[in-house]
Amino acid sequence: MPEPSLYIGPEALTALLAWLQSQPWRDIALVCDDRTWPVLGAAAEGRLREAGCSVRTMRLGGPGVVADEERIVEILQQAGAPGHLLYLAVGSGTLCDLTRFASHRSGRPFVSLPTAPSVDAYTSRNSPLVLRGLKVTVDAQQPLAVFADLEVLRSAPSAMIAAGAADVLGKYTALADWRLAALLWGEEIDGAIVREQYAALAQVAGAARGIGRGEPEAIAALTGALMASGSAMARWKNSRPASGAEHHLSHYWETMHLLQGRPASLHGAKVGLGALLMARAWARLRTLNAAQAATLMGAARPPDLEQERAAIASGYGPIAEAVFAAQGDLLPMAPERWQGLRERVVSHWDEVLAIAADVPSPEELEQLLLAVGAPTDPAALDLSAVEVADGLRYGHYVRDRFTLRRLEAALGLDLVL
Ligand SMILES: [Zn+2]
């Protein structure tokens, strides 16, 4: 599929209508909620009707729309027969994820009209959904096009803008983890994608103060970076280019909140905090020289299956079995893989330190997060000290990805706690 066409600028509805002229669809299923209807939904419906389109508007009611079974069925039911429908998602992450999934499973395309620069998911293929109370990520489709109206995005709640920026700033640790996995665990990596992601990151770091103040060029830079990150994930066919240990922390906290029936805080805000914690680990890693790393590795033991199983049981309770089963080749770890990891850690320590050098210090990252307006205090995210510690203890089991947390475990260290 071609990359989505991307418009970031003023008068996005005019741009959408101009684009529609060259497209075959005149039957539009507009998905919005009570919050995005007055922001952009009403105007979109009006302009599309004026342009001769038939519009079925699905305004999802109630506070805090969640991307769950109920909403998926609500959208499919209201959309009626798929026919020659083009879905239009008017909203941020959740509405986009719902529309992405519902359109894809009914064999229809969709277009995104973001209302906040809050996540990097707009241009991606995946839909994170909450099914039977648990967060799962399912493969779906990219939008045909995204029309991002800068005036609308600038007027979004400042916490949502900050969350989008923090989601991008989390790439510092995500990219370091990917490079580490390629170096030590033999994972595939794409140099061009890594460079693009660092460029998107630099764009947001450079505009941090302006983002915090809601300046138009800074919001445009943030939006561009979010779209680039979503496209990178779509091209790589998974979230590796944008997600490492900081996302695992965020997913762990989110899963625990879901299991306890507590409301979720913004994804990007949790990622920002996760990145800050991981920046502390990277800073401590930088203090280890090659001789110390070799000594640690010499004394290290491979992961003990029963101990690991017990840790997963304490960390994940009712879903522990599923988490244990999803550990891939990290658990159980074949003896030859453990031996390979040990050898590579010792012989490539200089390269490990070179990767670590590209992660900002915790102080620098904290300044960037504060500049964009993202919280750095766990309490602001409804997280207790125990929950933060649990995230660090169990977050890396969220999926079968090699990250700094897995290296720490191999070295027999805990660099954050
Ligand atoms: Zn993210």
Q: Ligand 1: distance of its center to the CA of 229 in Å?
A: 9
Question: How confident is the model at residue 414, as a pLDDT?
Answer: 84
Q: Ligand 1: distance of its center to the CA of 8 in Å?
A: 20
Is the domain of 112 the same as that of 209? no
CA 336, 337, 340: angle at the middle one, nearest 5?
85
CA 214, 164, 14: angle at the middle one, nearest 5?
65
Is the domain of 219 the same as that of 354? yes
Q: Are 128 and 137 in contact (CB under 8 A)?
A: yes
Q: Rounded distance, CA 368 to CA 36, Å?
A: 29
Q: Ligand 1: distance of its center to the CA of 119 in Å?
A: 6
In a domain, 416, yes or no: no
Is the domain of 182 the same as that of 292? yes
Q: Ligand 1: distance of its center to the CA of 271 in Å?
A: 7
Q: Are 223 and 207 in contact (CB under 8 A)?
A: no
In a domain, 193, yes or no: yes
Going by C-alpha positions, the residue among 293, 261, 249, 248 that lies closest to residue 413 is 293
In a domain, 385, yes or no: yes
Compute the residue count for the chain.
417
Is the domain of 252 the same as that of 373? yes
Cis check: omega of the bond before 82, within 30 degrees of 0? no
Q: Ligand 1: distance of its center to the CA of 163 in Å?
A: 9
Q: Ligand 1: distance of its center to the CA of 250 in Å?
A: 9
Place of tokens 């899963």: 255
Give every CB contact of residue 301 below 8 A, 6+ residues apart in sequence.
Answer: 412
Q: Are 177 and 245 in contact (CB under 8 A)?
A: yes
Going by C-alpha positions, the residue among 294, 273, 304 that lies closest to residue 368 is 273
In a domain, 310, yes or no: yes
Is the domain of 168 the same as that of 150? no
Number of domains within the chain: 2
Q: Rounded distance, CA 351 to CA 333, Å?
A: 23
Q: Ligand 1: distance of its center to the CA of 138 in Å?
A: 15
Per-residue pLDDT of the chain (417 residues; tens, 9 = 90+): 788 999 999 999 999 999 999 999 999 999 999 999 999 999 999 999 999 999 999 999 987 789 999 999 999 999 888 788 999 999 999 999 999 999 999 999 999 999 999 999 899 999 999 888 778 889 999 999 999 999 999 999 999 999 999 999 999 999 999 999 999 999 999 999 999 999 999 999 999 999 999 999 999 999 999 999 999 999 999 999 999 999 999 999 999 998 898 988 999 999 999 999 999 999 999 999 999 999 999 999 999 999 999 999 999 999 999 999 999 999 999 999 999 999 999 999 999 999 999 999 999 999 999 999 999 999 999 999 999 999 999 999 998 999 999 999 999 988 886
CATH number at residue 342: 1.20.1090.10
Q: Ligand 1: distance of its center to the CA of 386 in Å?
A: 23
> What's the maximum distance between 2 C-alpha atoms anywhere in the chain?
73
Q: Ligand 1: distance of its center to the CA of 242 in Å?
A: 7
Is the domain of 239 the same as that of 273? yes
Q: Are 369 and 169 in contact (CB under 8 A)?
A: yes
Distances (CA, A) of 376 to 226, 250, 271, 363: 21, 13, 10, 11
- Summarize pLDDT for 323-373 with one digit per residue, the tens: 999 999 999 999 999 999 999 999 999 999 999 999 999 999 999 999 999
Going by C-alpha positions, the residue among 177, 376, 410, 194 that lies closest to residue 277 is 376
Strand partners, 135: 130
User: pTM of the entire structure?
Assistant: 0.94
Q: Ligand 1: distance of its center to the CA of 293 in Å?
A: 31
SS3 call for 130: strand
Q: Ligand 1: distance of its center to the CA of 169 in Å?
A: 10
Going by C-alpha positions, the residue among 193, 192, 90 that lies closest to residue 143 is 90
Domain boundary among 156, 190, 218: 156
Is the domain of 174 the same as that of 149? no
Which residue range is the domain that position 83 belongs to? 5-156
- Summarize pLDDT for 58-109 with one digit per residue, the tens: 999 987 789 999 999 999 999 888 788 999 999 999 999 999 999 999 999 9
CB burial string 49-62: b at 16+ within 10 A, e below: eebebebebbbbee
83: left (phi over 0), alpha (psi -120 to 50) or beta: left
CATH number at residue 31: 3.40.50.1970
Q: Ligand 1: distance of its center to the CA of 230 in Å?
A: 9
Q: Ligand 1: distance of its center to the CA of 390 in Å?
A: 20
Q: Ligand 1: distance of its center to the CA of 243 in Å?
A: 6
Q: Ligand 1: distance of its center to the CA of 177 in Å?
A: 14
In a domain, 79, yes or no: yes
